[in-house]
Every structure is written in structure tokens, then in C-alpha cells.
């Protein structure tokens, strides 16, 4: 008698595993996982770039800014804070520039903006509407001369250093005086550090009047005092270039 042929029943688990419904779900899960991986990769790259910028901007797009009646045109990468990189009216504007190039932030010079060990690499500028009739040079005779303590001392690059007396509100500060090419008085107030290594990017500050009604305060490292004449000329030239005649009204929305 001929042996009966053996029948091998299909495995139920294998049939379930290979069913079209399961394959569709598997393909969908793979697609979702791949999409999530790409999104994480792009998002991580964008976050990494944002962290690397640390609030800086490489954009050279011109911002049209109004402070009082003064109209300024400045690239975004010289404006220090992100919330100030907007067109329109504001009460105050903070800038930073490389010294001596007078340039804004870029990937090429990013180390100079982030290295606190090189305070002489940057100048910090602050613009606001004038609140005093005299700038720092104009305040020497009516105010600062009454606060001098001790005898005049020789300062760097032809400047004369005058200490300010204790209790005057300017403890540990000194006023350095010189003569500008037009004969006007140059005055800058500085915290004189005990050593060159202790210098910061804002040891010294000077304020001047520019434009129609702007006060410009600029800060720099005391290491740069020997270059005071070049700095004064560069800061004035840069800001005169940024000031422009207002051809059309700018939005007067107050931005803080």
C-alpha cells in the first residue's frame, strides 16, 4: 500500500508575521523612525549653531534705527543683543566692534568675541538720547576738577592722569586728560587695574555727543590707552558714517 503523502500545515505564526497589514505597519514605523532621526539631526545641528553663536549674529543686513531724531543705519552683526536687532525706534542701542578693524561679529573673528583673555580686541558702544548738556570733556572744568586728589601724574601716550578723591563716588578711578587735534580736551575715566592681566574689556569709558541729540558712551580695555587718539578718531568716523538723513518716517514703536 502506497504510503500516504504527508501534509505540512502552514505555521499560523509565520502567516501572521508576513501578513500585508503587519508589513504596512512595519514600513510605517521605519519611516517614522527615519523621519525622527533626520529631524533630530537637523535640529541638533541648528541648536549647535545657535549655541556656537551665543547670541551673536553673522548677518550684515542693515537695520534702520531711530533714537530720538537721529537715524542710524547699522549691520545686524555689530548690534550686541538679539532683541535690539530690529528696525524702528528705540531708547538705547548697544554695539560691539573689533579693534582696530571696527567690524562686527563673523565666523572668522568669533574667537575675539568670546575670549575674555583678549579684552583689547573689542570696543563696546552704547547709544542713547542725550540727558546732559555736556559730555565727559565738557564736564572736566565744572565737575571733575573739584574731585581731583594729589598731583598730576604722567599717563600713557601723552595723557595726564588725575586721581579722584575717596568719597567722590569715583573711588579707585582716575581721569586721564589729553588734547585732541582740534585743541579740544580729551577726557576718559578709567579703573586702573593692578596688573595688565587684570584688565577687562570695560576698564575705561568715555562719552561724547554726536548727531543731533545722541550720547555715545564707549568702553574699552585700559590696555588700549596708548591708542586713545586712533580710537577717538575711529569711533567718531564710524558713527558719522552710520548716521544718515532720515528720508522717510520710521515706525515709532517703542522697543525695550
User: What backbone phi and psi angles, to 5 degrees, belong to 194?
Assistant: -70, -25
Q: Rounded distance, CA 236 to CA 74, Å?
A: 14
**Residue 192's pLDDT band (boundaries 50, 70, 90)?**
confident
Q: How many domains is the chain partitioned into structurally?
A: 2
Residues 6+ apart with CB under 8 A from 220: 99, 120, 122, 123, 124, 201, 202, 203, 204, 205, 231
Lowest mean pLDDT among 5-19, 124-138, 213-227: 5-19
Position 117 scores a pLDDT of 86
**Residue 196's pLDDT band (boundaries 50, 70, 90)?**
low
Pair (21, 115) in one structural domain: no
Residue 145 included in any domain: yes
- What is the DSSP annotation of 84-126? G-SSEEBSEEEEEEETTT-----STTHHHHH-TT-GGGEEEEE
Edge-to-edge strand ranges of the sheet holding 70-75:
88-89, 62-67, 70-75, 243-244
Pair (95, 31) in one structural domain: no
The model's pTM is 0.76
Structural domain including 205 reads 62-244
Using one digit for the tens of pLDDT, what is the confidence trace for 56-84? 999 999 999 999 999 999 999 999 999 99
Pair (32, 136) in one structural domain: no
Is residue 54's pLDDT more than 50? yes
Amino acid at each position: 500500500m502506497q504510503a500516504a503523502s504527508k501534509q505540512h500545515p502552514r505555521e499560523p505564526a509565520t502567516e501572521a508575521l508576513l501578513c500585508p497589514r503587519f508589513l504596512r505597519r512595519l514600513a510605517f514605523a521605519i519611516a517614522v523612525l527615519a523621519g525622527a532621526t533626520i529631524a533630530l539631526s537637523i535640529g541638533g545641528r541648528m541648536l549647535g549653531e545657535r549655541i556656537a553663536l551665543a547670541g551673536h549674529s553673522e548677518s550684515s543686513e542693515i537695520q534702520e534705527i531711530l533714537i530720538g531724531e537721529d537715524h542710524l543705519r547699522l549691520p545686524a552683526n555689530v548690534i550686541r543683543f538679539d532683541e535690539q536687532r530690529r528696525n524702528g525706534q528705540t531708547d538705547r542701542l548697544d554695539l560691539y566692534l573689533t579693534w582696530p578693524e571696527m567690524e562686527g561679529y563673523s565666523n572668522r573673528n568669533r574667537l575675539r568675541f568670546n575670549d575674555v583673555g583678549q579684552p583689547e580686541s573689542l570696543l563696546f558702544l552704547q547709544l542713547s538720547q542725550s540727558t546732559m548738556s555736556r559730555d565727559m570733556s565738557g564736564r572736566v572744568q565744572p565737575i571733575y576738577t573739584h574731585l581731583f586728589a594729589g598731583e598730576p601724574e604722567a599717563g600713557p601716550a601723552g595723557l595726564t592722569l588725575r586721581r579722584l578723591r575717596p568719597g567722590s563716588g569715583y573711588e579707585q578711578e582716575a581721569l586721564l586728560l589729553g588734547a585732541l587735534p582740534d585743541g579740544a580736551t580729551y577726557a576718559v575715566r578709567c579703573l586702573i587695574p593692578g596688573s595688565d592681566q587684570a584688565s577687562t574689556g570695560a576698564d575705561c569709558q568715555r562719552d561724547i555727543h554726536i548727531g543731533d541729540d545722541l550720547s555715545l558712551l564707549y568702553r574699552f580695555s585700559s590696555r588700549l590707552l596708548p591708542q586713545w587718539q586712533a580710537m577717538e578718531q575711529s569711533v567718531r568716523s564710524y558713527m558719522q558714517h552710520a548716521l544718515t538723513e532720515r528720508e522717510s518716517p520710521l515706525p515709532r514703536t517703542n522697543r525695550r
